[in-house]
């Protein structure tokens, strides 16, 4: 007879010295882990609650400007550098880690309308209401290394990617400049009185887009002599941002409270409408991943949208923040910066509940595990409700309800009109197409 | 490729990888389960405990011992990690000990009858069902709580993942008590008479009761009637056991038979064994051994659920009437509480060799225990989630489809045609157009019809009445039968 009885040697299961960590033998046999799905659900519920508990997105603010801030620019190479320009013509360079102003100068006589770094971050271009383009050395803002005087007004500037010399400005026309020439190398015009924003595509570097005050968005190619295409919408587009990962996608922040993502290959209708703001969207910027973008609005809130989703995943607001003028998503995908009317630049976390700083391995695995659980149980009503819930300011809450009500009324009216008119005489228009007037080639 | 599709593919590959890794990890498990290899021609049934303890190492041999106590019959319980033993004699003797080191933690006499003892979530607390009420003691034997809303309790079961202490009382009351908050979750009369037989399904946390009519009923705290009932024997059920993964149930009746059932199907017994007398107590081990107490003899059967076996794996005669059996988790040990005290028997191959330290850890330190307690409390599953089958992580397609079809059928239902005759001549004054009146009446009738449809109870929409005749229908009231 041969017998074996379970007999564990305690030395195999206990730590040798007090300085060791305890031994944790694992056995993944499902029989030893009953109620796995129920326990996971409870864990997911806890995780999503904790996420809301730790959601403290505001990090700090940069104050120093003596007037409202009109524009900001992110440094392409240095994560800690930021440039901002205000209504009184002051240009400031900031160090974000220290939350301090590095240098400042009264660059323009009136508004600073646009700021842009060149691709290697050595020069900062600024345009102002005094119709000058000034080029600054980013080490220290003292005297501009170049000053260009434009014949027309200037409202925006954008540097071409991967090319240190070329930049474009907009005003009543779009002008392409070379830094070695004092006159614009070419002028592109499409019967518009003023263009207030311009942006180069970061991948297809010859393409640029601008927003015009006649409610249109115009696409240009630097290699062509004429503008390429134009979309006319029902209301004005305030700003647009190119998706940094998908060369053909840009998103326009519109006056009608929505953002519209367009595919340049088919401009007939937007590929997505992003709704949630309750006032005009004034500014927009993409995350470097291209999966998300941030918008600032006249309703005094910042919202973060997932680029393929119709509604925002996050809303940021503070009591003192006024109308947003400019937003930026930092290049490390961790922070969002916002500039507003009341002279402050605010720094927010891109992910409200994220823990900053280095994570210990155990901490990281726990967070990753929680993230997976949240994803797995995202559709469960209880989890969904907690994850979605946001406290919003009263004015937003009421405004939103009001807008919903008025939208309902319009819908009802349209339905009634349809009922009482000839069949098929009033077509159903999709939400995407509703706010697009036409595309002009 | 769409984003959803892409994500699904990624997830699938991740899952496959995880399964592969966990399978590979099985190779690394340090321990192997125990066994007896008999000489050719020798039966393992004949091997006695003294023989066994003589042929194993010293530490294992010490695991076979007897406690001669005078307050029997004894009820026993091992703690969840298998380190501590709790015994309670009918005459009031309660003792808690670390049975491996034989260190006595506490010993008290409660001065009244003790019906059942149970460890709670760790070895710091245990509850004792005494003559009148249920009491909770800490590991020093100090009375912590007296639960006066649990009276005349005969049996207790602790559901560790839900932190529920469920009890069955002499008057037929079933109750679930949340021990983390001290709140009674539910308490109701099962209307099945005296509840003397109770066990839990550790896979879905349902409480199983055995009744005198030969029925086994399963209960959840969310329903005041049994979730399921099986007619197992023609007469009284004497003992009941469910294996650790909740697949098989063994029942024994006064008809001197042991039947093994597949709980998931609730249909015909898988096995039907005949024994000498009807067993008093049965229990499954972690590896699926079934221990049966028949008067003063313990029989242990191996793999008796899937195969029909002829002989017992091991047999031991205790010489006193056995009251209660319990396998020690993670050890090859079977504990038996009997009239004359307690016996610890070696059953090679009955314990799970490799424990998961994050789940149950026999070598737990004090700090680990504290941490584990917090974790357990954080992961406490709400009592509302106790169901026959958990579908938390599944898509409920059936319910959705029935809902959908119900809604669709509602849309296609047309109101009955109504013949309306409008009297044309109401003297001279005909105020309204007769056709308009007709229209109005029709509209009103349709609205009424729709309202009535919407007001229908949900069950009526979901499913028609089943006309199937079940075995258990004979237990229904005659009034219910007619319905």
> What are the tens digits of pLDDT across the range B123-133?
999 999 999 99
**Which residues, 6+ apart, have CB-to-CB distance to A105 below 8 Å?**
A90, A91, A136, A141, A142
Partner-chain residue, chosen from A13, A28, A380, that has the shortest CB–CB distance to B363: A13
Record the tokens describing residue A238, joined without a space: 């305030």
Complex confidence, ipTM? 0.82
The dihedrals phi and psi of A39, each to the nearest 5 degrees, come to -65, -40
Q: What is the pLDDT of residues B139-184, one digit of tens each?
A: 999 999 999 999 999 999 999 999 999 999 999 999 999 999 999 9
> What pLDDT shows up at residue B374?
96
The β-bridge partners of B298 are B293, B316
Among chain B residues, CA nearest to A373:
B393
**A42 and B379: CB-CB below 8 Å?**
yes
Tell me the whole-structure pTM to 2 decimals. 0.85
Asked if B241 and B258 touch (Cβ cutoff 8 Å), the reply is no
Q: Cα separation of B92 and B78, whole Å?
A: 19
Other residues' Cβ atoms within 10 Å of the Cβ of residue B294 = 21
Among chain A residues, CA nearest to B80:
A32
Q: What is the pLDDT of residues B193-220, one digit of tens each?
A: 999 899 999 999 999 999 999 999 999 9
How does DSSP assign B121-180, residue by residue?
Answer: SSTTEEEEEESSEEEEEETT--EEEEEEEEESEEEEEEETTTTEEEEEETTSEEEEEETT
> What pLDDT shows up at residue B480?
53
Q: Cα separation of B202 and B159, whole Å?
A: 8
Residue B49 pLDDT more than 60? yes
**A23 and B354: CB-CB below 8 Å?**
no
Asked if A222 and A260 touch (Cβ cutoff 8 Å), the reply is no
H-helix or E-strand spanning residue A117: strand A112-117
The confidence band for B8, taking pLDDT boundaries of 50, 70 and 90, is confident
In this prediction, residues A231-243 reach a mean pLDDT of: 94
Record the tokens describing residue A421, joined without a space: 């008119």
The dihedrals phi and psi of A129, each to the nearest 5 degrees, come to -70, -10
**What mean pLDDT, rounded, does chain B reach?**
88
**A1 and B393: CB-CB below 8 Å?**
no
Residue B474 pLDDT more than 80? no
> What pLDDT shows up at residue A378?
92
Q: Cα separation of A237 and B40, whole Å?
A: 91
Angle at B365 between CA B359 and CA B366, to 5 degrees: 105
Residue indicated by tokens 């929505």: A258
**Which residues, 6+ apart, have CB-to-CB distance to B385 below 8 Å?**
A38, A41, B392
In this prediction, residues A204-226 reach a mean pLDDT of: 91
Asked if B229 and B258 touch (Cβ cutoff 8 Å), the reply is no
Share of chain B above pLDDT 90, in %: 68
Quickly list H helices, B28-83. 49-54, 58-61
Angle between helices A36-53 and A361-376 (to 10 degrees): 110
**What mean pLDDT, rounded, does chain A reach?**
92
A-interface mutation test, from B162, B180, B392, B397, most A Cβ less than 10 A away = B392
CA distance B90 to chain A (A): 32
Residue A163 pLDDT more than 90? no
The β-bridge partners of A280 are none
**Which residues, 6+ apart, have CB-to-CB distance to A324 below 8 Å?**
A282, A283, A296, A297, A298, A300, A301, A302, A338, A339, A340, A341
b/e sequence A208-247, b meaning 16+ C-beta within 10 Å: bbbbbeebbbbbbbbeeeebbbbbebeebbbbbbbbbeeb
The dihedrals phi and psi of A338, each to the nearest 5 degrees, come to -135, 140
> What pLDDT shows up at residue B483?
45
Q: Cα separation of B84 and B63, whole Å?
A: 13
**A8 and B362: CB-CB below 8 Å?**
yes
Residue B464 pLDDT more than 50? no
H-helix or E-strand spanning residue A315: strand A312-316
| Residues on chain A touching B355 (C-beta within 8 angstroms) | 25, 27, 32
Closest CA to B336 of B275, B289, B282: B282
Among chain B residues, CA nearest to A46:
B378
| Residues on chain A touching B34 (C-beta within 8 angstroms) | 3-6
> What pLDDT shows up at residue B345?
95
Closest CA to B337 of B153, B78, B143: B78
B-interface mutation test, from A21, A27, A365, A378, most B Cβ less than 10 A away = A27
């Amino acid at each position: 007879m041969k017998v074996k009885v379970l007999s564990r040697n305690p030395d195999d299961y206990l730590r040798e010295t007090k300085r060791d960590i305890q031994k944790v033998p694992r056995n993944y046999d499902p029989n030893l882990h009953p109620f796995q799905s129920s326990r996971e659900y409870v864990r997911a519920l806890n995780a999503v609650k904790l996420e809301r508990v730790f959601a403290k997105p505001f990090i700090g603010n940069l104050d120093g400007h003596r007037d409202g801030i009109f524009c900001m620019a992110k440094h392409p190479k240095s994560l800690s550098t930021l440039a901002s320009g205000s209504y009184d013509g002051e240009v400031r360079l900031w160090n974000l880690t220290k939350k301090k102003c590095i240098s400042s100068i009264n660059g323009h006589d009136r508004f600073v309308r646009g700021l842009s770094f060149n691709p290697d971050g050595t020069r900062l271009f600024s345009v102002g209401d005094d119709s000058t383009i000034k080029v600054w050395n980013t080490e220290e803002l003292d005297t501009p290394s170049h000053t260009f005087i434009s014949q027309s007004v200037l409202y925006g500037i954008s540097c071409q990617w991967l090319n240190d010399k070329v930049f474009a400005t907009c005003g009543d026309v779009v002008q392409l400049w070379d830094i070695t020439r004092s006159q614009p190398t070419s002028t592109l015009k499409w019967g518009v009185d003023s263009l207030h924003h311009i942006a180069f595509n970061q991948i297809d570097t010859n393409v640029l887009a601008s927003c015009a005050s006649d409610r249109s968005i115009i696409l240009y190619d630097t290699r062509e002599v004429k503008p390429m295409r134009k979309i006319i919408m029902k209301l004005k587009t305030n700003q647009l941002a190119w998706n940094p990962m998908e060369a053909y996608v840009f998103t326009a922040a519109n006056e009608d409270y929505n953002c519209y993502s367009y595919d340049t290959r088919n401009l007939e209708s937007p590929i997505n409408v992003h709704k949630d703001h309750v006032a005009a969207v004034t500014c927009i910027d993409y995350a470097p991943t291209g999966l998300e973008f941030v918008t600032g609005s006249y309703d005094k809130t910042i919202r973060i949208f997932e680029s393929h989703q119709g509604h925002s995943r996050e809303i940021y607001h503070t009591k003192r923040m006024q109308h947003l003028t400019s937003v930026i998503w930092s290049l490390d995908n961790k922070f969002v910066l916002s500039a507003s009317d009341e002279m402050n630049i605010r720094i927010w976390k891109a992910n409200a509940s994220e823990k900053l700083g280095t994570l210990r391995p155990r901490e990281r695995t726990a967070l990753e595990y929680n993230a997976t659980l949240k994803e797995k149980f995202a559709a469960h009503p209880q989890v969904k409700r907690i994850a979605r819930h946001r406290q919003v300011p009263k004015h937003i809450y009421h405004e939103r309800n009001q807008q919903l009500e008025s939208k309902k009324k319009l819908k009802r009216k349209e339905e009634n009109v349809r009922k009482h008119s000839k069949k098929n005489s009033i077509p159903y228009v999709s939400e995407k197409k509703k706010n697009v007037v036409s595309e002009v080639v | 490729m769409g984003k959803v599709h892409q994500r699904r593919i990624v997830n699938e590959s991740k899952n496959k990888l995880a399964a592969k890794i966990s399978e590979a990890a099985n190779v690394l498990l340090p321990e192997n389960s125990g066994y007896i290899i008999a000489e050719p021609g020798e039966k393992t049934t004949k091997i006695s405990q003294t023989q066994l303890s003589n042929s194993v190492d010293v530490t294992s041999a010490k695991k076979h011992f007897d406690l001669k106590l005078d307050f029997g019959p004894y009820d026993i319980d091992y703690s969840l990690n298998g380190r501590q033993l709790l015994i309670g004699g009918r005459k009031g003797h309660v003792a808690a000990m670390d049975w491996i080191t034989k260190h006595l933690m506490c010993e008290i006499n409660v001065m009244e009858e003790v019906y059942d003892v149970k460890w709670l979530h760790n070895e710091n607390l245990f509850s004792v069902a005494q003559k009148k009420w249920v009491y909770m003691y800490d590991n020093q034997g100090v009375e912590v709580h007296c639960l006066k809303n649990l009276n005349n309790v005969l049996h207790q079961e602790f559901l560790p993942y839900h932190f529920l202490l469920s009890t069955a009382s002499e008057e037929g009351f079933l109750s679930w008590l949340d021990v983390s908050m001290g709140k009674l979750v539910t308490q109701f009369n099962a209307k099945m008479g005296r509840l003397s037989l109770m066990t839990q399904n550790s896979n879905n946390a349902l409480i199983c009761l055995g009744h005198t009519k030969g029925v086994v009923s399963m209960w959840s705290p969310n329903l005041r009637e049994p979730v399921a009932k099986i007619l197992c024997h023609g007469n009284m059920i004497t003992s009941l056991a469910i294996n650790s993964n909740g697949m098989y149930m063994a029942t024994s009746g006064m008809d001197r038979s042991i039947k093994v059932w597949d709980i998931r199907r609730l249909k015909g017994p898988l096995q039907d064994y005949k024994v000498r007398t009807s067993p008093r107590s049965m229990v499954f081990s972690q590896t699926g051994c079934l221990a049966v107490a028949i008067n003063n003899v313990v029989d242990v059967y191996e793999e008796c659920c899937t195969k029909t076996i002829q002989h017992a794996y091991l047999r031991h005669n205790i010489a006193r009437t056995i009251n209660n059996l319990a396998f020690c988790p993670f050890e090859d040990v079977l504990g038996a509480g009997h009239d004359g005290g307690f016996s610890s028997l070696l059953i090679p191959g009955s314990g799970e060799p490799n424990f998961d330290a994050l789940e149950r850890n026999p070598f737990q330190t004090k700090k680990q225990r504290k941490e584990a307690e917090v974790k357990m409390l954080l992961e406490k599953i709400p009592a509302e989630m106790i169901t026959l089958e958990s579908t938390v992580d599944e898509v409920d397609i059936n319910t959705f489809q029935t809902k959908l079809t119900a809604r669709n059928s509602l849309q296609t239902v047309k109101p009955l045609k109504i013949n309306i005759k409008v009297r044309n001549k109401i003297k001279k004054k005909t105020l309204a157009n007769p056709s308009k009146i007709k229209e109005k009446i029709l509209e009103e009738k349709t609205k009424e019809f729709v309202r009535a449809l919407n007001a229908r109870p949900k069950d009526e929409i979901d499913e028609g009445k089943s006309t199937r005749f079940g075995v258990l229908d004979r237990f229904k009231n005659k009034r219910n039968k007619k319905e």
